Amino acid sequence: MSGHKVVLGGVAVAALLAAGTALAVDPPKMGRPAPADLVKLMDISIPPDGTGLPEGQATAKQGQTVFMERCAACHGERGEGKTNDRLAGGKGTLTEEVTVKTVGSYWPWATTLFDYIRRAMPYNTPLSLKDEEVYGTVAYVLFLNGIVGENDPINAQTLPKVQMPNRDGFINAWKEPAVATR
């Protein structure tokens, strides 16, 4: 009986080996190369240093109009929160018993606000804003938090220079140790 099992096992291994060899020589014809325009559409991540921020710009004043039409219903006209998250205020509350986490009190980078709004907001119609409209709403949210002026142009050059109040409030888990351990 046990001999019978061994024979079966041997056959299975032989079959696997044969399949492996066939794969190496002739891969299955599946999928297709990703078209460049599709890659461009999905390649929208903006890291903290702002690499890849698009052309265009807007001020908070310009962004206010977009915000009223596209954001205020959920976040309130001055980002005070409505059915959804509060976006402004709360500065200095992170060490209090009741913390108020907003873009102004919590977020360490302004650049990633562009990334977030462009890819995720408005919540019910994401990816529907033009780059200028994203810059405008970014500027308006930063303005509501007293971080930029009403008429400051927000663009690929100025946004990475914006200093967020909680910039130093995070510990970078990926930082190299100061002294090599090996």
Q: Are 133 and 58 spatial neighbours (Cβ–Cβ below 8 Å)?
A: yes
CA distance 23 to 19: 6
Q: SS3 sequence, the chain? A: CHHHHHHHHHHHHHHHHHHHHHHHHCCCCCCCCCCHHHHHHHCCCCCCCCCCCCCCEECHHHHHHHHHHHCHHHHCCCCCCCCCCCCCCCCCCCCCCCCCCCCCCCCCCCHHHHHHHHHHCCCCCCCCCCHHHHHHHHHHHHHHCCCCCCCCCEECCCHHHCCCCCCCCCCCCCCCCCCCCC
Q: Does 172 bind ligand HEC (CB under 6 A)?
A: no
Q: Does 154 bind ligand HEC (CB under 6 A)?
A: no
- Quick one: which segment of 49-57, 80-88, 92-100, 166-174 binds ligand HEC (CB under 6 A)? 80-88
Q: How far is the CB of 20 from ligand HEC (least distance, A)?
A: 44
Q: Residue from 52, 54, 65, 73 that binds ligand HEC (CB under 6 A)?
A: 73
Q: Residue from 52, 56, 81, 85 that binds ligand HEC (CB under 6 A)?
A: 85
Interface mask toward ligand HEC for 125-144; x: CB under 6 A: ----x-------x---x---
Q: Does 164 bind ligand HEC (CB under 6 A)?
A: no
Q: Residue from 53, 58, 87, 148 that binds ligand HEC (CB under 6 A)?
A: 87
Q: How far is the CB of 112 from ligand HEC (least distance, A)?
A: 10
Q: Does 94 bind ligand HEC (CB under 6 A)?
A: no
Residue numbers at the binding site for ligand HEC (CB under 6 A): 70-71, 73-75, 84-85, 87, 102-103, 116-117, 121-124, 129, 137, 141
